[in-house]
Amino acid sequence: MRLQADVLVVGSGAAGMYAAIAAARAGAEVLLVDRSLIGRGGATVMAQMTVAVAVGEEEPDHWEHHLADTLKAGRGLCDPALSQLLCEEGPACIREMDAWGVGWARRDGHLAQVHAPGHDRKRCVYVDFLNTGPAVSKTLRARVQRIGEIRRVGELLVHELAVRDGGCVGAHAMHVSSGESISIAAKATILATGGLTRLYARNSASVNMGGDGYALALRAGAELVDMEFVQFFPIGHLAPRLVGMDPIMWDPFRYKLGGRLLNSEMKEFLPEAGRYVSARDVATSGILKEVAASRGSPHGGVWLSFQHCSEAVLREAFGPVIERLAANGIDLTRQPVEVAPIAHYHMGGVRVDRDMQTGLPQLFAAGEAVGGANGANRLSGNAITEAVAFGRRAGERAAALAARMSLVSPKPHSWARPWEGKINPAAEIVRLQAVMNEHVGPLRARNGLERALSSITDLAPVCAELEAPRAGLDPEWVDMQDLRNMRLVAECVIRAALERTESRGAHQREDFPETSEAWQRHLTHRA
Amino acid sequence: MKARLKIRRGGAYERFEVPFEPGQTVLDGLRWIRAQRDPSLAIRFSCINANACKECMMRVDGKTVYACTTRLAEGEMTLEPLPNKKLVKDLVTEIAPPDERLK
């Protein structure tokens, strides 16, 4: 079966949906595809936290202040043009979504903004209670549904970009529930596939964040940048087991209520005094050092306590969320919880210019799939701003390019060989995630990285080529394509982490603890 | 502890013994089966544990629930696909809105 469009958008988180809206608004016929259901998978729907944007409603602000904070947090490695785009275009997107009814929290008639770590003032908008991501997803989804020029197709897994004459002419996809191969012809293609947090056993994203876009871009001839910088969210929930809630939910609790991070001696070990001020890279390494010094909590993290808050204060701040905690057996007035770093976001990604154009003509990227805007460490609240600002820009530019191009049919796709299924790919994914978690986490050293590289390299032969899917829904084939992409992307992360013999932001080398001026440069990957 | 998951696969049921610790969910058990016993078992989920994507809906012991928020329990639990949706395979049904399907 064949599909075609002026602009193909791969991925339907905030970046993909905003790109689709912007491209359609600029006159393009858009095909929006997702391997999961439209607007349900990906990272956006999981975001329970805040959105950093210089709308200046809580106190005077300007995007240049937001930019200064973003560059500072990026530890010298931001691509300033991309960071500027994020900060400068963010306000218009946030206001546009406000007009679309997203429901940003308000106080005294203006948008409520809270102060998040690393920001110089109250800058972060949100939707109560812990509902920012779901509200953004739902709003964009409703918008996309109303635009006739956008065709939406879920359960369509893009496994290869189609390249002809040195440009991207669409993609090859598999319809997951039927097993049918689909070829898509497009004048311009936008990758909005998110990051790579699924490479880690402990992660805060959905199952389709296995670095698909990076692998697609790399194999098609585009360039990746800053792959060693994986952000670990410092206070991901660890214990007791919590279900039905995003493990990064303690972030908004800390914005509103402070909270104290405590070691096994019930002492604060970061210079916070109950305030939420530590940057993510600093808090992550602080926690891991307490654990390494045997001052961690029973499950290998640290304690987070809100015992200074009365039940009335908790209920006012988080309403029904307190009931959901109670259903999980957690009473914050009586007990601290255990938290530990969790893979959360990837600063690196596909290298693009200010127009979101990759190194491969007619191929664009948007959102977390893009590398560079956040350097070596992302400021809290910048991820959704990046998704919407970059999505909008990519949609506009892709539509403008598509208007000048003609449709070219992708060459037919041929599979290397029929399915043989020599390994259990689901088991191999679990193994890869364990290796990455153990050796390629926030604290790294040569020995561990080399061990991880050798383990990943062992998988290369079985991942070299994708075998043909069988008829119908074939979960093993889906796992195999995921393993193949995850392996390739993991190798990029490990090789860059080995090469960067310094510590900077989210990349902390135990054997090279200092930041080196000579390393204020980017590592890139090409196939 | 051990749960015995009795899973409807097409016309028949298949049983899997699943080890678990208190607090773990039916989705944890299903993912364990796929990695340790049978990777061909088809399930649908996206957000894993956050109850955000709403994709892992199924019938557990005759009640429609989310696998990601239903705790595993000792003894037998019967897992079936949603009865009012078209079956795709095993526990996966067609839940996408009609205008977002390929055909």
Q: Is the pLDDT of residue A40 over 90?
A: no
Residue A323: both structure tokens together: 């009931």
Pairs of CB atoms within 8 A across A/B: 112
Percent of chain A surpassing pLDDT 90: 91
Q: What is the mean pLDDT of residues A21-31?
A: 98
- Using one digit for the tens of pLDDT, what is the confidence trace for A438-459? 999 999 999 999 999 999 999 9
Percent of chain A surpassing pLDDT 70: 100
Residue A416: both structure tokens together: 């290397």
What pLDDT band is residue B5 in, cutting at 50, 70 and 90? very high
What pLDDT band is residue A227 in, cutting at 50, 70 and 90? very high
Q: What is the mean pLDDT of residues A312-331?
A: 93
User: In this predicted structure, what is the pLDDT of residue A129?
Assistant: 86
User: In this predicted structure, what is the pLDDT of residue A281?
Assistant: 87
Q: Is the pLDDT of residue A332 over 90?
A: yes
In the stretch 171-200 of chain A, residues with CB closer than 8 A to chain B read: 175, 177-178, 180, 182
- From chain A, pick out residues whose CB is under 8 angstroms from the CB of B96: 37-38, 154-155
User: In this predicted structure, what is the pLDDT of residue A111?
Assistant: 97
- Using one digit for the tens of pLDDT, what is the confidence trace for B18-77? 999 999 999 999 999 999 999 999 999 988 778 888 899 999 999 999 999 999 999 999
Q: Mean pLDDT in chain B?
A: 95
User: In this predicted structure, what is the pLDDT of residue A482?
Assistant: 97
Q: Respond yes or no: is residue A141 known to be catalytic.
A: no
Q: How far is CA B58 from CA A8, A191, A245, B70, in A?
A: 32, 32, 19, 10
Q: Does the predicted TM-score (pTM) go above 0.90?
A: yes
User: In this predicted structure, what is the pLDDT of residue A46?
Assistant: 86
Nearest by CB to A473, which of B88, B96, B99?
Answer: B88
Q: Contact, A53 vs A90, CB < 8 A?
A: yes
Q: What is the mean pLDDT of residues A455-473?
A: 95
- Using one digit for the tens of pLDDT, what is the confidence trace for A194-205? 999 999 999 988
What pLDDT band is residue A245 in, cutting at 50, 70 and 90? confident
- Using one digit for the tens of pLDDT, what is the confidence trace for A397-438? 999 999 999 999 999 999 999 999 899 999 999 999 999 999
Q: Contact, A388 vs A94, CB < 8 A?
A: yes
- From chain A, pick out residues whose CB is under 8 angstroms from the CB of B37: none
Among B49, B51, B54, B93, pick the best mutation site for testing chain A contact (most A Cβ within 10 A). Answer: B49
Lowest mean pLDDT among A47-51, A114-118, A210-214, A335-339: A47-51
More confident call, A15 vs A253: A15
User: Both ends of chain B: CA-CA distance in Å?
Assistant: 44
What pLDDT band is residue A169 in, cutting at 50, 70 and 90? very high
User: What was the ipTM of the complex prediction?
Assistant: 0.96
CB contact under 8 A, A37 and B88: no
Q: Contact, A493 vs A230, CB < 8 A?
A: yes
SS (H, E, C) A242-299: CCCCCCCCHHHHHHHHCCEEECCCCCECCCCCCCCCCCHHHHHHHHHHHHHCCCCCCC
Distance from CA of B91 to the nearest CA of A (A): 11
Q: DSSP readout, A11-55?
A: --SHHHHHHHHHHHHTT--EEEE-SSSTTTSTTGGG--S-EE---
CB contact under 8 A, A426 and B39: yes
Q: Mean pLDDT in chain A?
A: 96
Number of C-alpha atoms within 13 angstroms, CB side, residue A289?
Answer: 10
- Please confirm whether the linkage preceding A129 is cis (ω < 30° from 0): yes
Pairing of strands A349-350, A224-225: antiparallel
Could you tell me if B93 lies within 8 Å of chain A, comparing CB atoms?
A: no
User: In this predicted structure, what is the pLDDT of residue A207?
Assistant: 86
Distance from CA of A146 to the nearest CA of B (A): 12
- Using one digit for the tens of pLDDT, what is the confidence trace for A268-290? 999 999 898 898 889 999 999 99
- Using one digit for the tens of pLDDT, what is the confidence trace for A113-147? 999 989 999 999 999 988 999 999 999 999 999 99
CB contact under 8 A, B50 and A40: no
User: In this predicted structure, what is the pLDDT of residue A473?
Assistant: 96
Q: Sort A289 into a burial class: Cβ within 10 Å, 0-12 / 13-18 / 19+.
A: middle
